Amino acid sequence: MDSKRRVLFFIDSLTCGGAEKSLISLLPLLDYSKVQVDLMLVVRGAVFEQYVPKEVNVMSVPHSCSLVFRIGQTWFSILQRMMRRRHGAEIRWMAMRGMYEKSKKEYDVAVAYQQGFPTYYVARKVRAKRKYAWVNADLKNAGYCEAFNKPFYDSYDKVIPVSDVLCDLMKNTQYVDAEKLFTVYDVLNVDLIRRMSQEEHENLSHPDVTIVTTGRLVPPKNYVLAVETAALLKKKGIDFVWYFVGDGSERGHIEKLIKNEALEEQVKLLGMKPNPYPYMAMADVYVQTSSFEGFGLTLNEARILHRPVVSTNFPVVYNQIKDGENGLIAEMTPESVAEKILMIAQDEALRNRIIEATKQEVNTTSVTEPKKVMKLLL
């Protein structure tokens, strides 16, 4: 008789995002002599799916027949236009929860590895002896309604924020009772990131200053601020190019802003790359302009590659950046971000000091965090 624990992980998709990269880094580090893992996805075929370990059974979330499901999607689109202030994940659940079928299997442990729809589905449609909900974003700033989400989180045995600062932020909200919180950091495979950063990529121009930002082109990443900063750098006569690595719903809007500011030569949209690390590695300055984050995984990745970083001052940034030591923290204005970029670009002593600080950092999440997760699963 197989004594392995039956475990379900559920995430929307394996596109190029922080939660997705964290899960793909975690899965190979689990002990498959003790766990039997299913991975449930809403959207199949995204770029990181190829990195799922062979021991993991990948499956789609079960839903009703195609016609009924399309009707549900249409109703979801209508509600989105009517309820613009509500988070899209909440609207999707309200519109389509009846279109998604319950999981046929029963699990020892079920893990919603993302806030929003995975959390709702695992809470209401999965049978499991224990349930854990990962939180990868600042729920309040992301626009999740406390009253709507608390009943779902109440049904979980533990709620897992991915940073200490995010945990503290959640203690001051009504989403979840504080005693359920247990921090597990996003997992980073340092050796893999450094190896992947050495892979070949297309030849790109290298002016005096090469700036790189990676991430989905979505509102929370605040690429509008990045474009405004680029316009300011151009007015100052700086010879630079800023590469945006990623794709998303805001791409058309960002392209219009770039054209309006005549920044076609300075700001380049490279699209989504399965391997973003060679682009990170070529940065003179790595910049994160997010309005909020759950952790800010790409900042950690850039420091693993010993790139000096500039980040906006979203709350959880202080979990990993000490301003002036291992990076610079800017206000959420183009003037402040531009100033910090120029400080690194033009002050060689400061730049070298920050780079040396990143070389002294030791990231142990690939050792410590899988052990925490295995304890939760067992």
Residue 223 DSSP code? H
Which CATH superfamily, name and number, covers 5-62+101-188+364-377? Glycogen Phosphorylase B; (3.40.50.2000)
Half-sphere exposure of 190 (CA within 13 A, CB side): 14
Angle between helix axes 365-377 and 18-26 (nearest 10 degrees) is: 80
Distance separating alpha carbons of residues 298 and 195, to the nearest angstrom: 16
Residues 38-47: what's their mean pLDDT? 89
Which ranges in the chain are annotated with CATH 3.40.50.2000?
5-62+101-188+364-377, 191-360
Tens-digit pLDDT profile for residues 218-262? 999 999 999 999 999 999 999 999 999 999 889 999 999 999 999
Q: Look at residue 281 and tell me whether its pLDDT is greater than 90.
A: yes
Looking at every residue in the chain, the average pLDDT score rounds to 91
Residue 347 DSSP code? -
CB 127 within 8 A of CB 38: no
Distance separating alpha carbons of residues 223 and 256, to the nearest angstrom: 12
Tens-digit pLDDT profile for residues 71-101? 777 777 777 777 777 888 888 888 888 888 8
Tens-digit pLDDT profile for residues 128-168? 999 999 999 899 888 999 999 999 999 999 999 999 989 99
Distance separating alpha carbons of residues 180 and 332, to the nearest angstrom: 33
Q: Is the pTM of this model over 0.85?
A: no
The tokens of 149 are what?
Answer: 């989400």
CB 314 within 8 A of CB 290: yes
For residue 371, what pLDDT is reported? 95
Residues 52-69: what's their mean pLDDT? 85
Q: Look at residue 2 and tell me whether its pLDDT is greater than 70.
A: no
- For 191-360, CATH number out of 3.60.20.10, 3.40.50.2000, 1.10.760.10, 3.30.470.10 equals 3.40.50.2000
The structure tokens 């009253």 sit at 147
